[in-house]
Structure 1
Amino acid sequence: MLIALLFWLSVLFVWYAYVGYPLLLWCLGTVRRQVVRKGLIQPSVTFIITAYNEEKRIREKIENTLTQDYPKDRLDIVIASDCSTDRTDPIVQSFQPSGIRLVRLPHKGGKEAAQKFAVESTSSDILVFSDVATMLPPNGISTILKNFADPSVGCVSSVDCFIDQDGRVSGEGAYVQYEMWLRRLETTVNSLVGLSGSFFAARREVCLDWASDLQSDFNTLLNSVKKGLRGVSDEESVGYYKNLADERKEYERKVRTVVRGISVFMRSLALLNPFKYHLFAWQLISHKLCRWMVPFALILAFVTNGLLALNPGWYRTLFWGQAAFYGLAVLYLWSQRLPKVAMLRLPSFFVMVNLSILDAWFRYLRGDRILSWDPSKR
């Protein structure tokens, strides 16, 4: 029966996107292991922090950066201000005696435009990027640089350490843990498909073709692959950041992230050629495109299950199970009275993520590209 076939194909698609792909990576990892040959190196480094109206947090970020144990004569610290209109720039300038350098866009151009402006002002071998909200341990820079002793590595991603305002692990905390596990598998088998935008590093040659209108973390990874290099995740490089002060704004943040990611993907379709990019082409489709198509598969599964449930049988039980899952998730998203426990938060987070992806597709198809930015308040 066609409806039953469509139902099971849609279920299988969702299963592959979240379970099947990492399972295949794990299997490949038993026979194919790409070890990162780390070493103690001290190349010239530029540490770039992008800021827009961050007067409340920029001082803490600069003070945290100044605790880095990397040789001062090999480290250039740059704050790239996206034409901030508050006291961000004067605060940064007050740290000039400590070696902090300010570069300011003449007009607001977006995060990537500010990063490009900063990149063009440097000549270092390695560029390290970080957000204002991300705090690093004193050995943060020296640790992430060890990966570049391996000539096959073009860029390195940190591990996200996510905490709530009260220090608890939330639904996103579990989701972030899943993503970090997936990155470990990808690093073992071949290459990452994305970097943590809050803290990552790249060779200078990877950053020369910097696009001011494309998501920098994703695009930097793809540029590395185009140059025959790979991206890796380093479990010893950790960036610490807090949950959003207003969790309801997380939805809009995810929509923006996916819209920007789709824009990068559509400009890099040549990487889907398996004859040239081999294993990475499969990874890019599985990790990015399949994940972005999950909302459509979920809708198809629900609709076809509803049609199958018109007749008595276990399809009806499955349908009411789906309805209960989505009902609980929506109720949790909009209610402040339900207990804050992971068993309830995870379904709601799953639904919120896929609603944001669906929303992102509609916005992308109508022409939205989202170049401007307003840093999330954490």
Structure 2
Amino acid sequence: MMTEVLFWVCALLLVYVFAGYPAVLHLAGRVLPRRSVRQPHDSEPRVAVIVSVYNEVRVIEAKIRNFLELEYPPDRLELVVVSDGSTDGTDDVVRACSDARVRLLVQPRNMGKTVALNRAVAETDAEILLFTDANSMLDSGAVRHLVAEFADPMVGLASGTTMYTAAGGDGMYRRYEDMLKRMESRLFGIVGADGAIYAMRRALYEALDPALINDLLHPIQVVLAGRLPVQCEGAFCTEETPGTGGNEYRRQRRIMTQSWLVVLTCAGALARAGKWGFLWQVVSHKVLRWLVLPLMAAIFALNVPLAAASPLYGAVLFMQGLFYACAITFRNADNGMLKLPYLFLLMHASGVTGLVRCLRGETVVRWAPRAQ
């Protein structure tokens, strides 16, 4: 009896993570008052586009060209490039740009992205800070779309969306994430910005701990300051589709290690500030999803002794076995849909390893670009 109860508790939790939480967001969004829709306005605050780079000579020239093509008043826009100890000629490419709006700050050694961002913010007095990556090419209208969100004085952060060059499992995941963020924007704010394209008010920026990941911490800081982090549907950037092998797993593991540290560090502050709605979103959107793999393992283990008792449990066990068999069989498939079970398990494995590393006291401050 207890085995059956535990099985259904785990199964319902798994369903809640992927279907229940979006359903609750949808219903709550229909019942609770909506945030007023932003209106076009004439304000053109000064914007600093901030990029931390470490050995990005492969893409930095394209990034500078991308900045120069942005549709925003030139005298209200600057690009701050922080070279975090680059040794591959990245600095020379930036120095070769004759546009006075492109500024280069050089770190004497590789100190980590967060340290670089802290320095960049300290070196600019722009009202809006737009954070992006060297390999992320902003849409020409992205700045205007993001800035328009700040017409609402309650908005403290606005996040865009990364579009990948090839479709597949990542495309499905992105669309699912975008749906969640749109609904979260109507309630207590988005849980996590897109690190490749998001903007926040300069007045709300606080110097970050080097071991914490900025795109998850910044929305939390904005909420604690009494403002809203929102999703901007018109702002996007493009990137090459990330890999799916060991390098991508290590990247996800690094992100998860930093993300767990953010949640464990900030959960108490959110509770003390009475931000229970946003904390519920953090647990539902992030924490429970990061624990999906242990949930799936528990469901499988509990299902085995139940399979002989009922055809229903036998069928469920068969479906689980089929899923894992597909993950193993098609892990090297070129077809994104066939590879989806493997990608799903790979992504959620990083949540577990990230937690283990975090509990061991491991931190991640520095890392190499994805292409290296």
How many Å apart are 1:339 and its aligned residue?
5.5
Paired position in structure 1 for 2:353: 359
Give per-residue Cα distances to partners, 1:10-61, cap 9 Å, x unaligned: 1111111111111000001112222342433211111101111001110001
Residue 189 of structure 1 and its aligned partner are, at CA, apart by: 2.2
* Partner secondary structure for residue 273 of structure 1: helix
Equivalent position to 2:102, from 84, 95, 100: 100
Change over 3 Å in CA distance of 1:275–1:48 after alignment to 2: closer
CA distance in 2, matches of 1:312, 1:246: 38
Q: May I ask how many residue pairs the two structures share in their alignment?
A: 370
Per the alignment, residue 90 of structure 1 pairs with 92
CA distance in 2, matches of 1:375, 1:271: 32
- Corresponding letter in the other structure for 2:36: V
1:150 correspondence with 2:144: no
Contact 2:267–2:279 (CA under 8 A) maintained in structure 1: no
Pairing 1:222-261 to 2, within 5 Å after superposition: 222-244=220-242, 247-261=245-259
Secondary structure of the 1:189 match is: coil
> Is 2:348 the counterpart of 1:347?
no
Contact 2:244 / 2:343 at 8 angstroms: preserved in 1? no
Tell me the TM-score normalized by structure 1. Answer: 0.93
- Residues 309, 316 of structure 1: 8 Å contact kept: yes
Q: 1:163 aligns with which of 153, 160, 165?
A: 165
Query: After superposition, what is the alpha-carbon deviation per residue over 1:148-201, rounded to whole angstroms, capped at 9, x for unaligned?
Result: 11100010100221222xxxx111110111001110111122310110000110
Q: Which whole-Å CA distance do the structure 2 matches of 1:115 and 1:248 have between them?
A: 27
**What is the CA–CA distance in structure 2 between the aligned matches of 1:103 and 1:45, rounded to whole Å?**
17
Whether contact under 8 Å (1:160, 1:180) holds in the other structure is: no
Aligned position for 1:81: 83
Matched AA of 2:314: R
Q: State the alpha-carbon separation in 2 of the partners of residues 123 and 300 from structure 1.
A: 52
Secondary structure, in 3 states, of the residue corresponding to 1:102?
strand
**What TM-score results when the alignment is normalised by the length of structure 2?**
0.95
2:200 corresponds to which letter in structure 1?
A: A
Number of the residue aligned with 2:111: 109
Among 364, 367, 370, the alignment partner of 1:373 is 367
Match of 2:191 in 1: 193
**Per-residue deviation, 1:311:** 4.3
**Cα separation, 2, equivalents of 1:279 and 1:19:** 18
Query: What residue ranges of structure 1 are gaps of 5+ in the alignment?
Result: none
The answer to whether the 8 Å contact 1:47/1:127 transfers is yes
SS of structure 1 residue aligned to 2:274: helix
Shift of 1:327: 1.4
Distance verdict in 2 for CA 1:182–1:59, change over 3 Å: same
Take 1:154 and 1:36, find their aligned partners in 2: how far apart are those partners?
15
Q: Unpaired runs of 5+ in structure 2? A: none
- 1:68 deviation in Å? 1.2
Show the counterpart of 2:131. Answer: 129
What secondary structure does 2:31 align onto? coil
Match for residue 120 of structure 1 among 103, 112, 122? 122
| C-alpha contact 1:128 1:202 (8 A) present in aligned 2 | yes
Give how far 1:139 is off: 1.7
2:207 matched residue in structure 1 = 209
In structure 1, C-alpha distance between the alignment counterparts of 2:104 and 2:182, rounded to whole Å: 35
- d(CA) in 2 for partners of 1:47 and 1:312? 60
Q: Which residue number corresponds to residue 31 of structure 2? A: 31
Distance verdict in 2 for CA 1:307–1:272, change over 3 Å:
farther
Deviation at 1:312, TM superposition (A): 5.8
Letter in 2 for 1:357: G
d(CA) in 2 for partners of 1:157 and 1:228? Answer: 17
2-side partners of 1:368 and 1:267: how far apart?
14
For residues 113-148 of structure 1, the C-alpha deviation after alignment (integer angstroms, 9 at most, x for no partner) is 111111111111111111011111222212210001
Query: Which moves more between the two structures, 292-301 or 20-29?
Result: 292-301
How far apart in 2 are the matches of 1:358 and 1:287? 15
Tell me how far apart the structure 1 counterparts of residues 98 and 258 of structure 2 sit (CA, whole Å).
34
Structure 1 window deviating more from structure 2 (349-358 vs 217-226): it is: 349-358
Distance 1:236 1:143 in 2: 6
Partner Cα separation in structure 2 for residue 121 and residue 206 of structure 1: 16
Q: Distance in 2 between matches of 1:130 and 1:3?
A: 48
Q: CA RMSD in A?
A: 1.8
Following the alignment from structure 2 to structure 1, what is the Cα–Cα distance between the partners of residues 340 and 293? 16
